[in-house]
Amino acid sequence: MYCKYRMKPTINDIARIAGVSKKTVSRVINDSPLLTGETRDKVKAVIEQLGYVPNPQARALALGHNFLIGLVHDNPNAQMILNMQQGILEGLRGTEFAMVVQPVNRSSPSLVEDMREFIVRQRLYGIVILPPISENDAVAKMCVEAGCRYVRMGSAVLDESKHMVASNDRDAVKEAVRYLIQQGHKRIAIVTGPQGFRSATERLAGFEDAMTEAGMKLPRSHRAEGEYTFDSGLVATEQLLDLSPRPTAIFASNDEMAAAVLYAARLRGIAVPDELSIVGFDDTPIASRIWPPLTTVRWPIVAMGRSAAHKLIAGAVEEIDLEDEPTEFLSNLIRRGSVAPPKP
Amino acid sequence: MYCKYRMKPTINDIARIAGVSKKTVSRVINDSPLLTGETRDKVKAVIEQLGYVPNPQARALALGHNFLIGLVHDNPNAQMILNMQQGILEGLRGTEFAMVVQPVNRSSPSLVEDMREFIVRQRLYGIVILPPISENDAVAKMCVEAGCRYVRMGSAVLDESKHMVASNDRDAVKEAVRYLIQQGHKRIAIVTGPQGFRSATERLAGFEDAMTEAGMKLPRSHRAEGEYTFDSGLVATEQLLDLSPRPTAIFASNDEMAAAVLYAARLRGIAVPDELSIVGFDDTPIASRIWPPLTTVRWPIVAMGRSAAHKLIAGAVEEIDLEDEPTEFLSNLIRRGSVAPPKP
DNA sequence: TTGTAAGCGTTATCAT
DNA sequence: ATGATAACGCTTACAA
Q: What is the pLDDT of residues B184-207, one digit of tens each?
A: 999 999 999 999 999 999 999 999
Nearest to A58 among B53, B61, B89 (CB): B61
Q: Which residues lie across from B150 on neighbouring strands?
A: B127
Q: What is the mean pLDDT of residues A56-61?
A: 86
Of A30, A49, A7, A24, the residue nearest A318 (C-alpha): A30
Q: What is the pTM of this model?
A: 0.90
Question: Is residue B329 within 8 angstroms of chain A, CB to CB?
Answer: no
Q: What is the mean pLDDT of residues A149-153?
A: 97
The number of beta carbons lying within 10 Å of the beta carbon of residue A99 is: 21
The per-residue pLDDT for range A78-130, each reduced to its tens digit, is 889 999 999 999 999 988 899 999 999 999 999 999 999 888 888 899 999 99
Q: What is the mean pLDDT of residues A293-306?
A: 98
CB contacts, 8 Å: B289 with chain A = 230, 256, 259-260, 263, 286, 290
Side chain identity, residue B294 = L
**Which range has highest mean pLDDT (A36-40, A163-167, B12-16)?**
A163-167
> What pLDDT is stored for residue A2 in this prediction?
42
Contact A96 B289 (CB under 8 A): no
Instruction: Return residues 265-294 of B near A (CB < 8 Å).
Output: 266, 285-286, 288-291
Report the DSSP pairing between strands B164-167 and A328-329.
unpaired
Q: How would you label B101-116 residue by residue, b for 16+ Cβ within 10 Å and e otherwise?
A: bbbbebeeeebbeebb
In this model, does residue A5 exceed pLDDT 70?
no
* CA gap B77, B68 in Å, rounded: 24
Query: B210 and B203 in contact (C-beta within 8 Å)?
Result: no
Instruction: Return residues 202-241 of A near B (CB < 8 Å).
Output: 230
Question: What kind and span of H or E run contains A192?
Answer: strand A188-192
Classify A167 as helix, strand or coil: strand
Residue A7 confidence class, pLDDT cut points 50, 70, 90: low
* CA gap A337, A343 in Å, rounded: 15
* Residue in B closest to A66 by C-alpha: B57
> What pLDDT is stored for residue B7 in this prediction?
63
Q: What is the DSSP string of B24-73?
A: HHHHHHTT-TTS-HHHHHHHHHHHHHHT----HHHHHHHHTS-SEEEEEE
Contact A259 B289 (CB under 8 A): yes
pLDDT < 70 positions in chain B: 1-7, 76
In this model, does residue A236 exceed pLDDT 90?
yes
Question: Is residue B57 within 8 angstroms of chain A, CB to CB?
Answer: yes
* Ordered structural domains, chain B, with CATH: 1-25 (no CATH), 68-168+301-329 (3.40.50.2300), 169-299 (3.40.50.2300)
In this complex, the nucleotide whose C1' atom is nearest to the CA atom of residue A27 is: D11
Of A148, A4, A138, A123, the residue nearest A56 (C-alpha): A123
In this model, does residue A3 exceed pLDDT 80?
no
> What pLDDT is stored for residue A4 in this prediction?
39
